[in-house]
Structure 1
Amino acid sequence: MKYQILRFLLKTVGKLSKGISLGWRTGFDSGVMLEYVYENKPQGITPLGVLIDKIYLSNKVWDGVRSRRRMLVGQLQDAIAQYNRPQVFDLAAGVGSYLFLLPFDRASIIAGDYNQEAVNQGKAKALAQGRKDIIFKRNDAFNLTEFASKKVDILVSSGFFDILTEDDQIKTVLINGSTITQPGARWVFTIEEHHPDLKLLQESLVDLNQQPWKLVLRPARQLIDWAKPYGWELETLQRNEYFAVGTMVKR
């Protein structure tokens, strides 16, 4: 009953909040939603909407998402430093705001995503900031023939493994990513290990496919074990309360 009441409130008065309204439109786990969470600037219709948005953005899990981004950027900077202008390929970047925190022209970056709205927003941002080193393209991480890049030094999957509900989906991405990399390549990833209320997500919110948000938690070690047969070994691993961020190197 409490989740039904919460869903009703989020679908009505909650839409005064820009973040909650965006979540209903694009999915609360979408790349566009994450970009809004990263910006962390409460907005809404009327002062009440701004207040609701402030409460929404201050949720502990969203704090964890912002902490995850800081760890991710640090590990990406460390990975890029191992090469001379490497090819970076983000398999599902969304708007990819974390990519804009990387040093200009230190790498050639392809930011892929299946959602065309995210790709368009990313292109606009890259153009506005003069980031010619970041190229946004549509990408299907599950279909190797449609990959936006076929030769990669550094793979990135941020917030992507976290939202996949089937183990086979992750294994498919691991196979595809391994196919386009050589020994010495790196894979910087995030994965969600904990959440305070999975039932709330499924009963009250929707994912990017407008279905009940079913989140499957997995330990980072499981992902690392799945990647091991393809030559990947863990190089770096950091954690906060909810997420793990790691870098694997291909031997």
Structure 2
Amino acid sequence: MLHEPTIAASASEQRVAQERTFRTHDGTEIFYRYWPAVGRPAKGAVLLFHRGHEHGGRMAHLVDELDMPDHAFYAWDARGNGRSAGERGYAPSFAALVRDIDCFVREIGRDGFGQRDIALIAQSFGAVLAAAWVHDYAPQIRAVVLASPAFSVKLYVPFAKQGIALWQKIKGRFFVNSYVKAKFLTHDPKRIVSFEADPLITRPIASNILVELYDHAARIVADARAITVPTQLLISGSDWVVRHGPQHEFFVNLASPAKERHVLPGFFHDTLGERERRKALDLIKPFLERQFATPEKPVDLTAADRAGFTRDEADRLASPLALLSPRGLYWAMSRASIRMGAWLSSGMKTGIATGFDSGSTLDYVYENEARGHGPLGRMIDRTFLDAIGWRGIRQRKLHLEELIGSATRTLKAGRPVHIVDIAAGHGRYVLDAVAKCTEPPASVRLQDFSDLNVSLGRKLIAERHLPTSVSFHQADAFDAQMLAGLDPAPDLAIVSGLYELFADNAMIARSLGGLAKAMQPGSLLLYTNQPWHPQLEMIARSLTSHRGGQAWVMRRRTQGEMDQLAAAAGFEKLDQRIDQWGIFTVSIARRV
């Protein structure tokens, strides 16, 4: 596609794309274009992510215009767009699209490109997806360029967002058509004509994606301190489609040691397809070449428990409020309502008695069966069980079961599988996962510090009539010497829901170090993390922990911080899952 004579390469210089497909995490076939590097070997790979409604073909002009022949280029058609499969304009969730990016990066890994060989260029909706992937999965990529990220779309009808969300609750999923005319996207007459004539443009977008876009964009903007990847932000000065405010807020919040912000006066929303896009490309090319040639040293996050924004956040939550202040009164009423609810709700009663972060409470949440005194008690209990945090916990259980199953299948090819969970609670999620394995592991050793959890876990094993190879032991998950001496040595070690409860990284390093000493190279580690939570203040001000009834104040770990702690102990991250709200992650890593 040629646009500006001053920009386009001559016919002899144009690179030819190969057309490929791959199947993403749920089997959907994704179409993408691949331009091999002209030189050998390639100096790196640049991935292009198109804006909403469009497809990778409309980013193809950048391959020649950026004039980086020593780099391979890739451009996908997002699911439901262009030549990729899927219902037009639809995805199961925003998180599914983000995970598609993770699968795409794994796909190009087959061409020999690791994460440190990759940079992203993304525009509009694609830029929000890219920012979410960088935030949630903490990839070790070289750089990301975000052009006019759609953190806040201008819906010119008053209360349109709220109306879409309400109508979706009433009627279910529906589609919203984009009526934005091409003349409001770019000043380039050829881009305008090609947009209006392009049969692969997808005008509708599913309501669930539009609603979730706002939610996830707000989360990413507010929590951009978690992003340390070198980032260049391009803002179109005369954008009719998205608001500038969140873009600037995102930039201010970024923790990237190398970050740039450029406002391009007069540019419409299609920043990389504008008539004067040479101005943008002349910013992008040197930024990327600099990061490929002399990449920034990764930010060390292992001391974030002592100095960092999540430490500051936890300190604020641990600071008491004046009782007679408006907020103090509000949270006092919240605590009182929970104590009253515990008279009727079995779940709340368990939380009050054992701590809302205890193994007993989590086991109750896993069972997900509303219980209480009478219909009112069961109704209160159902509201308790449907809290977003508990929904995330149950999704975490599903991800754990999935990855435990895949890990055991991988390991069985090489040796008998011995499993250990160093803080299993009642052990329900491990036993459920093992029950689904086609071949039982050689042994399953469950451990917990709580005598109550050990007793109830042993009862659960007895109720299921499991063999003696499945056992439960009382042990301290932070006892490095005990972990290092595990016999048999674990082939699969599981740490779920534990590290999130303790702010001190030295404790986590001690625990991971003990496991690493026990595990042979090639053994696998499953670990969970909580990089974000929408109810941190409610939890800190209203709920109690298992530690003597203290307030349940959590210090979040960014995914990058948790991954660095695992890497420092000798584990290489292989894969990750995250729930649709961005709260809980489950990662799998190999002992190296």
Q: Which residue of 2 aligns with 1:173?
A: 511
Q: Which residue of 2 aligns with 1:111?
A: 446
* CA deviation after TM superposition for structure 1 residue 149, in Å: 2.8
Residue 226 (str. 1) matches residue 554 (str. 2): no
Residue 40 (str. 1) matches residue 368 (str. 2): yes
The correspondence of residues 89-168 of structure 1 with structure 2, limited to 5 A, is 89-101=420-432, 102=434, 103=437, 105-132=440-467, 133-147=469-483, 149-150=486-487, 151-168=489-506
- Is residue 165–residue 214 contact of structure 1 (8 Å, CA) maintained in 2? no
CA offsets per residue over residues 25-68 of structure 1, 9 Å max, x none? 11101111111000000001232211110100011111111011
For 1:13 and 1:77, the matched residues in 2 are separated by 38
CA offsets per residue over residues 163-216 of structure 1, 9 Å max, x none? 112222211211111121121111101111111121111111101111100111
Greater CA deviation, 19-28 or 93-102?
93-102
For 1:107 and 1:48, the matched residues in 2 are separated by 46
Q: Which residue of 1 aligns with 2:335?
A: 7
For 2:341 and 2:347, the matched residues in 1 are separated by 12
Greater CA deviation, 233-242 or 141-150?
141-150
CA offsets per residue over residues 197-240 of structure 1, 9 Å max, x none? 21111111101111100111112221221222332101111111
- Is residue 198–residue 215 contact of structure 1 (8 Å, CA) maintained in 2? yes
| Cα distance change of structure 1 residues 14 and 127 upon mapping to structure 2, 3 Å threshold | closer
1:58 to 382, 386, 394: 386
Amino acid in the other structure paired with 2:501? I
* CA deviation after TM superposition for structure 1 residue 146, in Å: 4.1
Identity of matched residues, %: 27
Q: Secondary structure at the match of 2:520?
A: strand
Q: Which residue of 1 aligns with 2:529?
A: 191
Q: Secondary structure at the match of 1:42?
A: coil
For 1:23 and 1:59, the matched residues in 2 are separated by 14
- Is residue 14–residue 52 contact of structure 1 (8 Å, CA) maintained in 2? no
For 1:230 and 1:243, the matched residues in 2 are separated by 22
Greater CA deviation, 191-200 or 16-25?
191-200
Q: Higher helix share goes to which structure?
A: 1
For 1:14 and 1:196, the matched residues in 2 are separated by 23
- Is residue 363–residue 426 contact of structure 2 (8 Å, CA) maintained in 1? yes
Q: Secondary structure at the match of 2:369?
A: coil
* Count of residue pairs the alignment pairs up: 251
Greater CA deviation, 64-73 or 223-232?
223-232
Q: Which residue of 2 aligns with 1:72?
A: 400
| Cα distance change of structure 1 residues 230 and 188 upon mapping to structure 2, 3 Å threshold | same
Q: Secondary structure at the match of 1:112?
A: strand
Alignment RMSD: 1.5
CA offsets per residue over residues 106-163 of structure 1, 9 Å max, x none? 3411010001111111111111111124211111011134448342111100111121
- Is residue 419–residue 441 contact of structure 2 (8 Å, CA) maintained in 1? no
For 1:21 and 1:36, the matched residues in 2 are separated by 11
| Cα distance change of structure 1 residues 124 and 181 upon mapping to structure 2, 3 Å threshold | same
1:238 to 566, 570, 577: 577
For 2:383 and 2:569, the matched residues in 1 are separated by 43
* CA deviation after TM superposition for structure 1 residue 16, in Å: 1.3
- Is residue 91–residue 112 contact of structure 1 (8 Å, CA) maintained in 2? yes
For 1:57 and 1:168, the matched residues in 2 are separated by 33
Structure of greater Rg:
2
For 1:178 and 1:89, the matched residues in 2 are separated by 13
- Is residue 482–residue 514 contact of structure 2 (8 Å, CA) maintained in 1? no
For 1:204 and 1:229, the matched residues in 2 are separated by 35
Amino acid in the other structure paired with 1:177? L
1:30 to 355, 358, 363: 358
Amino acid in the other structure paired with 1:243? F
Gaps of 5+ in 2: 1-328
Q: Secondary structure at the match of 1:121?
A: helix
Q: Which residue of 2 aligns with 1:85?
A: 416
Amino acid in the other structure paired with 1:55? T
| Cα distance change of structure 1 residues 144 and 97 upon mapping to structure 2, 3 Å threshold | same
- Is residue 331–residue 541 contact of structure 2 (8 Å, CA) maintained in 1? yes
- Is residue 185–residue 249 contact of structure 1 (8 Å, CA) maintained in 2? yes
